[in-house]
Chain A
């Protein structure tokens, strides 16, 4: 049996989000809960599947480096129909392009931003399940903050995100240059 990979463990999961964003955000911008997404244009939705706005929300939280714990009551949480491993496949969606690699970047970001004792994990002193739980928590909390951010904007102006460039503008506001961190170690040789 091939060694299990933490990426695969993570990708088979399904993140949770707060139900209260279902109507105000997810259904507002996605074809969530309506079957095939090929009619996106006709319905005037900005995005296709519900997970797309989740990804957007996640990256907002990530770049703002802001997390927001999910509501305690698990009854008030929900998950999407498909686990992360299928996100962005978009095989049959007209006018769209698949973006399978984005999953890997999300994973990369989660590893960078989650405080997991990988040495303990490597030693077997911590279960891989526990580590993936922690990654999922980071993911959910970033996205939760992103949803909260969007909701805030929408409260001021319900049409805020219906401007053509509104989502893009949020991401243009972040610094695109690579942070020149001084305390960073020189990259190691890879031998």
Chain B
């Protein structure tokens, strides 16, 4: 099967119709991330999927979908034309129709194959044609996504599938089964005859019982032995890996420690950088940040009120004191009058007295009374007494008495406010004025912790990348690298326990096998009376030998197949690693009948961790070899399709790789972003024509149509351009 043309219609980013013509050798499809490389690969995967309809809305080109008016429809299809005993074609398609603003309906799923018979073109079910020309087991070794899928022996049944498909051992299996059946039937028949033979019947029966017992023992020993061997194998490979990767393991542990440290730090920073900004307004009184001004207002108001109240109070007290004083003075005056003859209180009168004080002369005696003199003071007192008398009189008339008077301020709310003011001043006020600083300190603290957090996150990401790279490069699992020295000792112990058990079992097995051989020998040496019984015995012996021969031949056949695969693989490995170290591929059969691809140096040392590019070429060489064998066995060629197989390659290695692939006589489609140069300054991408021009293959460029909206899938469209 050689693919001649691929047509893709409205499949995801492949808007409208697109086609690629493939050459018989290498076809390169070059595109950057997001340009539609994997989509191309997946379109083919969809076409080659014979397990069911698998039509998905996500297969429909968003761009085409967005253009449809209600009632309009279009088609998604992937089609290949290929050569396989004449030209054939396979197409998978379905129709999509817009039925409302938000809904698209899909219908008319078709999977059809076409072939030409004579001059006529016939149609046939697509899956049937595909299974005829490109059977599932071969497809499995033809399409590979990324570097990680290249190790085809990564699962236990892979070797068996391969051997069954390509080595012709399946026919052998039938022969092994058949002869083994013959052997068992002949053994039963011979036994029956022996046990019926008068002469040897008793002996035969006893020997047979022994034989059964010993055979059962052997069977169970073998089962246990097999299990132990598998575990030893596992322990050995783990130990081997751990020992040989001590350095990696140490680095891994160091990174792990740092990650742990950073994660602890991160947890602290997360706690520190969290801040309940809103509830702190209340819980931490942050809302009082601008409150000092209000406190000032309050204080000023309360002070003024307090002052005013005291002023009024004082005034009132004075008034009352004055009244009381006057009443007392009057009574004093009245007392004096009893001792001597007093001058009437109204003599001299108010006007006369004021005049005398103003003139500083006592107009009663005619002597001067300058300010400050005793006589002047006397006159002033006399006037005050006069006024007090008048007032007291007036008071007496009004009838009010001090004792009956209500207080001026029956309430003490202002005092309440005043004590509140006192409470607020001092420490409280100072605390409130600190809130602004507290908030800004806290915000600054949080900002700094957030910056630190971002830095820690960055470091964590770098370390995690480093950790992943380490895992990728070493090819070891995190679980294995996590094992500490104590685990290593555990492996050793378990392994040595298993080993001593194995040697015990092997000794027992040898013993039992020789016992069995002895019994069998004794059985064969029994001399029955009947000649027919003797014939049965001989027939059984013959079948026994034939069965052994077939079993050995089957084993040999598998080994031969692996040998052939190994030889072919090494040829490709050498080609793919021209001018570089490449080593020798060995395909080893494991105890549980699967296979492992390993790389060895010329001197017999196993290369535990070939670098990424070497590993990839190693697996690819095996793939090419399998493909080569397929071609030989089926007398048909099959394509190999790779999606981005070279991501671990460096620039130089890439060039050599494509140069070699270019010359390999095999249809190969590689979808890649290699051979695309990106101008760092402008971000412009351009094909690496220096390398491309040295190749003879077909080259396609796929890219997104500009301009596009990076958030809107319906603006994304891949265009396919044939470069050469």
Contacts and interface: CB of A to CB of B under 8 A. Distances in A.
Interface of A: 3, 5-7, 46-48, 52, 55-56, 59, 62-63, 88, 90, 95-99, 101-102, 104-105, 108-109, 111-113, 118-119, 121-124, 128, 131, 164-168, 171-172, 174-179, 181, 184-185, 187-188, 190
Contacts of B304: 185
B411 A47 contact: no
Contacts of A47: 278-279, 282
A181 B296 contact: yes
B488 to A, nearest CB: 47
- Size class of the B contact interface (CB-based, 8 Å): 35 or more
A99 B282 CA distance: 7
Contacts of B433: 178
Given A6-B416, A124-B410, A174 B301 contact: no
Nearest to A190: B422
Interface string B267-304: 00000000111111111111111111111111111111
Given A56-B282, A111-B301, A175-B293, 10 more contacts: A96-B283, A105-B288, A122-B413, A171-B281, A172-B289, A179-B296, A181-B300, A187-B299, A188-B303, A188-B307
15 contacts: A5-B416, A55-B282, A62-B294, A96-B283, A99-B285, A102-B287, A109-B291, A119-B309, A122-B409, A122-B410, A164-B275, A174-B289, A174-B290, A179-B296, A187-B299
Contacts of A112: 294, 297-298, 301
A164 B292 contact: no
Nearest to A101: B285
A63 B302 contact: no
B558 interface: no
A171 B292 CA distance: 14
A59 B435 CA distance: 15
A157 B694 CA distance: 61
A108 B287 contact: no
B312 A119 contact: yes
Nearest to A131: B413
Which 8 pairs across A and B sit closest by C-beta, in order of nearness? A176-B436, A112-B298, A97-B283, A174-B290, A112-B297, A178-B292, A179-B293, A168-B277
Contacts of B293: 175, 177-179
A63 B298 CA distance: 14
Nearest to B307: A188
Contacts of B201: none
Contacts of A119: 305, 308-309, 312
A101 B420 CA distance: 12
B408 interface: yes
Given A122-B412, A122-B413, A190-B422, A171 B287 contact: yes
B278 A123 contact: no
Given A108-B294, A112-B297, A124 B287 contact: no
Given A108-B420, A165-B277, A59 B287 contact: yes
A2 to B, nearest CB: 11
Nearest to B422: A190
A5 to B, nearest CB: 5
Nearest to A184: B300
Contact of A121 (B280, B289, B290, B413): B413
Counting chain B CB atoms within 10 Å of each CB, the highest count among A119, A175, A176, A190 belongs to A176
B295 A168 contact: no
Interface string B402-438: 0000001111111011001010100000000101100
B255 interface: no
Given A46-B278, A102-B282, A122-B409, A188 B292 contact: no
Given A184-B300, A188-B307, A123 B411 contact: yes
Contact of A178 (B280, B296, B312, B408): B296
A168 B294 contact: no
Given A122-B412, A124-B410, A176 B292 contact: yes
A141 B288 CA distance: 19
Nearest to A87: B282
A55 B414 contact: no
A121 B412 CA distance: 9
Nearest to B310: A188
B439 interface: yes
